Every structure is written in structure tokens, then in C-alpha cells.
Amino acid sequence: MSDLDVVNLFIIAGGTLAIPILAFVASFLLWPSALIKVYYWYWRRTLGLQVRYADCGGYRFCYSYRGKPGMRPSILMLHGFSTHKDTWLTVVKYLPKHLHLVSVDMPGHEGTTRTNTEDYSIQGQVRRIHQFVETIRLNRKPFHLVGTSMGGNVAGVYAACYPSEICSMTLICPDGQSLYVRDLEHSNYTLNIPLIPTTPEEMEDMFRLCSHVRFKIPQQILQGLVDVREPHNTFYQEVFMEIVGEKSRYALQDHLHLITAPLQVIWGKQDQVVDVSGATVIAEVLPGCRVDLLENCGHSVVMERPCRTAKLILEFIVLQQDARGGTKKSS
């Protein structure tokens, strides 16, 4: 092989490597929203999660799952306002692969059906989630229910309405109490909702509001996140108005006394969205519940403390299952 052939070989090899690199750079700079979607797809694939759809009476739920029902109870995870099932990827990473995990897009969010006539109040969402549970037959035996923020509100009311289906549950910074959203209840919702950003700057402000840990996020990614959310902002505003309205605002607080399943509450001490005193409110109504307050952590517990969150949830599930086993043996 001549020196010229060797040079040509290096040029061809270099060009071949440069193409995907240039494509990545172009995507990052020009289509950051597409890159974000690819990122979630890759992460789901890496963690062994599969995406499926469940249809019921013309309504379609989108969900991801991993594992099969086994000795431990299945875990159903409900995300918060204006997010999606992939919110839980950070926690799933630290949960054992043999557990049966299900994460569903909440009504109207991401891949789940959105209609103009849908009831997006907390009670309306509870009915839809129950429909989903029945469709995939998750309630063939009691399961562990986890919810964060709005999803925590829905989870709590769900447990109160369908107690026989829940063996234990975890609420993470749930809304739906008299203290509700800090600093937002005195603002004009129709003019500016901090949880519905429309610019990269507002997106950065939302991260500061929701997270005590400061993440350095490139401007292109912030823009990509805005681009992904922007087509849904009218819907998010509709849902927000529903969950802060009289019908839903105190939904969790009004149903707490009906919860019979063992309850775990996880809350970031520096939560700026829903005040951490909500944990005390819950404990006063349900004194047997377990409360874990996380230092140097805000509202986005799942994002800020994923490993700690996964460990606490798993410990609680095992503890409750062992307690039930001991009760059966003694009887």
C-alpha cells in the first residue's frame, strides 16, 4: 500500500467518523428538541423499559414498564404537572430489575389521549388512572402506588377511593392541601404561570423554583425543552386552572382520613413550590405514616435525589411486605 493510499484511508475513516459527530452537533444546535426525545428513547432502552399502549373505550393510555409481577408488589408511578412518564427514569435506574414497574403518562399528557371534554380535575384524573389500572389488570393483586406533586395528589385520592387495590404507597411532595403552591396562589394565573415557561430564561427560572440543586443546563437544551413544551402550553394552563380550582385544590387533604394503606411521605426541605409543612399536615391526620425529609432538596425530589428516593421507596415496600408476612404467620 502506497503512502497516498494510507492518507486516503485516513481521510475516508476521518470523514466517516465526522458524519455522526457533525450530525450530533447540528442536532444540538439546530434541533435540540429532537435530541431530547432521542435522549429519552436511549435512556429507556438502556434501562430495559418498554413503551406500550392500553386502549379502553376509545381512550388510549401510553405507559412504560419493566419486569413482570413477582414476589414483590408491582409499582405504579404517577408523574407531576406538565411532565411525562420519563420523569421516573432517574429513579428507575436505582431500582432492582426484577421489580415490576409501570409508569403511565397522566391524562392528556405526552402519549395519553387528550380531549377538549376531559375532566382534568384531581377526581377526574383518579377515575382515568383507575380505568388504566383495570385495563392492564394491574389490580389483580394489591400494588404499591407512587406519586409526585400533582401525581401525589392523584395517588392519595386514588388510595382513598380504591383502598383494596393498594398495599402501600409513597407520596413525594404532593399538592392538594390548604397550603398548596407557595407564592403562586397570590399571583394572576392567567398572566404568568411560573410552571409554564415560554422562553429559555423562564425555563431556567422554573428549574430554580423547582430545584434546590443548581443544574447547569446549556442554552440550547433550555430552548429545546421550551420547544417540546410550547405546543402543549394551552393544555397545561387548562390543567393548572383545574388543579388550583375549588374542586381539586384541597382534594388530598379532604381524602387523607380515608387512606388505609401504609403511607410513606418524602419531601425536600427546601421545596419552594409546595411547602414542606405539608408533611406535618399529613402526619397529623395519619400519625402512623413514615415521613422522610431530605436535606438540601427542593420540589424536584425525583431529579435531585433519585438514588436516595429509590432506596427509601424500596426499603418501605420491603418493610411493609415483611410486616404483612409476620402478621399472617402470627395469625
Q: Which amino acid is at 264?
A: Q
- The closest of 95, 96, 61, 93 to 78, measured between CA atoms, is 61
Coil vs helix vs strand at 61: strand
Query: Which of 212, 275, 299, 300 is labelled catalytic?
Result: 299
Rounded distance between C-alpha atoms, residue 74 and residue 65, angstroms: 10
Query: Which of 86, 105, 271, 275 is labelled catalytic?
Result: 271
Residue 299 annotated as catalytic: yes
- The closest of 176, 177, 196, 175 to 187, measured between CA atoms, is 196
Residue 144 annotated as catalytic: no
- The closest of 79, 47, 63, 48 to 146, measured between CA atoms, is 79
Rounded distance between C-alpha atoms, residue 274 and residue 300, angstroms: 11
Query: Which of 33, 149, 168, 248 is labelled catalytic?
Result: 149
- In which element (H, E) is residue 252 found? helix 251-255
Catalytic residue numbers, as ranges: 149, 271, 299
